[in-house]
Amino acid sequence: MRKTCLALSFLVVLGLFFASLVSAQMIRIGEHQIVSHPALDDDSKGFAAALAEEGFIEGKNVTFNRQNAQGDQANCALIARKFEDDKVDLIHAISTPNAQATAKITKTIPVVFSSVTDPVATGIVPKMGNTGTNITGVSDRWPIELQCRKYAEILPNVKTWGTIYNPGDVNVTFHIKEMKEAVEKMGGKLVEAHVSTSAEVMQAAQSLVGRVEAIHVSSDNTTVSAFESVVKVCNDNKIPLFVGDTGSVPRGAIAAYGLDYYLIGYTAGKKAARILKGEKPGQVPAGMADGYSLWINLKAAQLQGAKIDKAKVAQAADKLWDEQGNLVKGK
């Protein structure tokens, strides 16, 4: 009996030893984003896919602690602090508020940001390229003027554009300034509607009815997280709706000339893999995302009463949905 107990005790100790060994071998990644919507969710998926290609596979040798700030910037700091206290091996910060909070709190844990408009102006890194800090990443600064001109080509008679955004989000204010300048340069006018939470988005969209000829939603996470509210208002009132993120086109926008957020996350994941393999974060260059594409949704155009040259936009589109909502061009 005593031998049996000793044998069982030995097996328990051995099991605990191997469990702790496995735990020690697991790489812990803390990932957080400001809110959940298709663009940022695709960023997260691309990040994990790139790591897996490099041998860092979730559930095998990597664990993710994924957190969502639910649109509250104060939560970004709480999440970053928890990652710091837990001493995770690497932090993936998706969006400007999350990256800002992480940069302020941790100075030793490697940080990879993504979906950040201007990481230098917002104090996340001192410069692009080799930052010399514990932080690197991928900027998603959009080609705002090119977007505005592209949408003006699709609807050349529109002169009064509307937009909805949260002025408390520093990530979007750069875009709104550029959008205003671009619209005015083309002889038009930009009408702004402000929100502070996603619950205010529908009311903001309704406030633009009768005041604008079309709406262009830029990189505002608050608005995009409640995008269906904007789509409903535009469909009900025949207001053409354009966006900057391609992920919102199948959700009901007419067009987007922008970036693939899966590829943004994928690029960030490749940088993270280099760090996990031994490179210093400050020697892994922070860079800009590239590879713009034009997505067109003819069903949305029909619902919103947009009179467009269907043949012309179909030919120009990299990805196209027909008037029945079927994807007929692109993957």
Nearest to 118 by CA among 169, 74, 78: 169
Q: Angle CA(48)–CA(44)–CA(216) in degrees, nearest 5?
A: 150
Q: Which of 86, 73, 71, 80 is nearest to 31 (CA)?
A: 80
Is the full-model pTM beyond 0.75?
yes
Question: Can you give the pLDDT at residue 108?
Answer: 96
Q: Is residue 291 predicted with pLDDT exceeding 50? A: yes
Is the pLDDT assigned to residue 289 strictly greater than 60?
yes
> Residue 27 belongs to what H/E stretch?
strand 27-33
Query: What residue has token string 């993270």?
Result: 272
Segment 126-152 shows an average pLDDT of 95
pLDDT in tens, 176-222: 999 999 999 999 999 999 999 999 999 999 999 999 999 999 988 89
Check residue 260 and give its pLDDT: 87
Rounded distance, CA 69 to CA 35, Å? 6
H or E stretch at 150: helix 144-154
Residue with tokens 């691309």: 46
At residue 55 the predicted structure's pLDDT band, cuts being 50, 70 and 90, is very high
Q: Give pLDDT tens digits for 225-235.
A: 999 999 999 99
Closest Cα partner for 90 from 273, 264, 262, 267?
Answer: 273
pLDDT bin (cut points 50, 70, 90) of residue 20 is very low
**Which pLDDT value is given to residue 6?**
44
Q: What is the pLDDT of residue 13?
A: 40
Return the axis-axis angle of helices 96-105 and 73-86, rounded to nearest 10°.
40
Provide CB contacts within 8 A for 65, sequence distance 6+.
28, 29, 30, 31, 83, 86, 88
- Count CA atoms closer than 13 A to 65's CA, side-chain side: 16
Q: What pLDDT is stored for residue 37 in this prediction? A: 87
The mean predicted confidence, pLDDT, of the chain is 91
For the segment 68-81, the average pLDDT, to the nearest whole number, is: 95
pLDDT value at 10 more than 60? no
Contact assessment for residue 239 and residue 252, using Cβ atoms and an 8 Å cutoff: no
pLDDT band, residue 5 (cuts 50/70/90)? very low
Query: What's the confidence (pLDDT) of residue 7?
Result: 45
Give the dihedral of Cα atoms 231, 290, 309, 162; nearest 10 deg.
40
Instruction: For the chain, report the end-to-end CA distance as a whole number of angstroms.
Output: 66
CB atoms within 10 A of CB 147: 25
